[in-house]
Amino acid sequence: MKFHTLLPVRDEGDIIRQCLEHLLTWADAVYVFDTGSVDDTWEIVQDVALTDKRIIPIRKEPVYFAETSLRGYMFNWARKYMQDGDWFLRVDADEFHHIPPPEFVKTYLRQHETIVYHQYYDFQLTQAEAQAWEWGDETLADRKRPIEERRCYFIPSYYSEPRLCRYRSTMQWPITCSFPINAGFLAKERLPIRHYPHRDPVQLERRYRLRTIMMADKTNRKNWTQPELHHWSEANWRKFIVKNDNPELQYWEPGRDLPRYQFTNHLKPLHIRFVQRLVHASLLPILDRTRPAFPENSQPQPISEEINQLLIRELN
């Protein structure tokens, strides 16, 4: 039983080395697709790949990020390395698994549970930390420190989505879906992940400059439902700095356990779960035959040269 990770990246030079080092503590394979970084992300990926063959760079190409076409492409590219009973994960460069997935599967899952949603602990950049940056108490040199030492305030996320799944050779991940169809029977327990999307003011400002340029592109907007309401459309990065007196904000001391939440909003009612368990126990391989496959030779949607040049100018 092996654990395969699908990692799309874009301009994560400040965190990507720590991310890869974390994944290599438990993953058997890390498949990386760089969607057009203009910083040193791809060079760091290649550098780490030279020292550990478990890092498998797919390629670097300016493409739009899309949960469906990009992640679906990565899965269908990497599945030739997977075998029935293996596990695969959707991962991002700003995610650190508080419990290693192999340990989570062994300790928290029942044998019939084959798909796991995440429990995010969203670590925030607080007003006090942003002010410390402005005063020079924290600088770019601090990026060499572990991220868990730099950002210790989090807000638990109620929202959840699939992250971990047991592989079967018949399953299909078509281009219209953000996860395989009929992926499996959903686990009650959520996979705890420390999420660090906002790491310092420089990274935060750059992150939202990139996203607003991408979201303003008419071609890319077609990939999103109500793009004008999506947080990627927000250009004012300062809105994402959290007040220190926010009642939801909690402090975590690195090395300690995180509080465990028992949110159940990801679960169907009991009578539906009962039917699902019966179906998943025997019928999934049969149902898989009726599902559309990822189109042969389909590729992630390329970014136009005009937009790519704009991103290069704006982010360098």
Identity (one letter) of the amino acid at 39? Answer: D
pLDDT tens-digit map of 239-283 = 999 999 999 999 999 999 999 999 999 999 999 999 999 988 889
What DSSP state is assigned to residue 231? G
SS3 label, residue 31: strand
Residue-level pLDDT at 233: 62
Q: Looking at 100-114, 153-167, 206-220, which range is the least confident one?
A: 206-220
The percent of residues in the chain predicted with pLDDT above 70, rounded, is: 96
pLDDT at 42 over 80: yes
Residue-level pLDDT at 282: 84
Tokens for 104, please give them.
């989570």
pLDDT band at 292 (very low <50, low <70, confident <90, very high): very high
Q: Looking at 42-46, 172-176, 211-215, which range is the least confident one?
A: 211-215
Alpha carbon 28 to chain centroid, angstroms:
17
The percent of residues in the chain predicted with pLDDT above 90, rounded, is: 78
pLDDT band at 212 (very low <50, low <70, confident <90, very high): confident
pLDDT tens-digit map of 18-30 = 999 999 999 999 9
For the segment 55-74, the average pLDDT, to the nearest whole number, is 91
pLDDT at 231 over 80: no
- The label of the residue with tokens 């509080």 reads 259
Distance CA 282, CA 145 (A): 49
Residue-level pLDDT at 65: 83
For the segment 76-100, the average pLDDT, to the nearest whole number, is 97
As for how many domains the chain has, the answer is: 1
pLDDT tens-digit map of 180-194 = 999 999 999 999 999
For the segment 207-221, the average pLDDT, to the nearest whole number, is 82
Distance CA 195, CA 122 (A): 5
SS3 label, residue 142: helix
Average pLDDT over the chain reads 93
Distance CA 221, CA 306 (A): 16
Task: Please state the φ and ψ torsions of residue 250, each to the nearest 5 degrees.
Answer: -125, 150
Residue 92 and residue 196 in contact, taking contact as beta carbons nearer than 8 Å: no
pLDDT at 228 over 60: no
pLDDT at 211 over 90: no
Distance CA 293, CA 72 (A): 10
Q: What is the dihedral of CA 228, 229, 231, 235, to 10 degrees?
A: 40
Residue 294 and residue 216 in contact, taking contact as beta carbons nearer than 8 Å: no
H helices present in the chain, as ranges: 16-23, 41-51, 69-78, 101-108, 127-134, 147-150, 201-216, 218-221, 270-282, 284-288, 305-315
Distance CA 282, CA 84 (A): 15
Distance CA 20, CA 22 (A): 5
Structure-model confidence comparison of residues 60 and 228, the more confident one: 60
Q: Write b or e for each residue in 251-268: b if 16 or more Cβ atoms lie within 10 A of its Cβ, otherwise e.
A: ebeeeeeeeeeeeeebee
Distance CA 65, CA 197 (A): 16
For the segment 273-299, the average pLDDT, to the nearest whole number, is 90
For the segment 139-148, the average pLDDT, to the nearest whole number, is 96
pLDDT band at 88 (very low <50, low <70, confident <90, very high): very high
For the segment 49-60, the average pLDDT, to the nearest whole number, is 98
Domain that holds residue 18: 3-315
pLDDT at 229 over 60: no
Distance CA 57, CA 34 (A): 8
SS3 label, residue 191: strand
Q: Write b or e for each residue in 167-181: b if 16 or more Cβ atoms lie within 10 A of its Cβ, otherwise e.
A: bbeebbbbbebebbb
pLDDT at 117 over 50: yes
**H or E segment and range at residue 6:** strand 3-9
Residue-level pLDDT at 157: 96
Closest among 200, 213, 194 to 240, alpha carbons compared: 200
pLDDT at 171 over 90: yes
Q: Write b or e for each residue in 49-76: b if 16 or more Cβ atoms lie within 10 A of its Cβ, otherwise e.
A: beeeebbbbbebebbbbbebbbbbbbbb
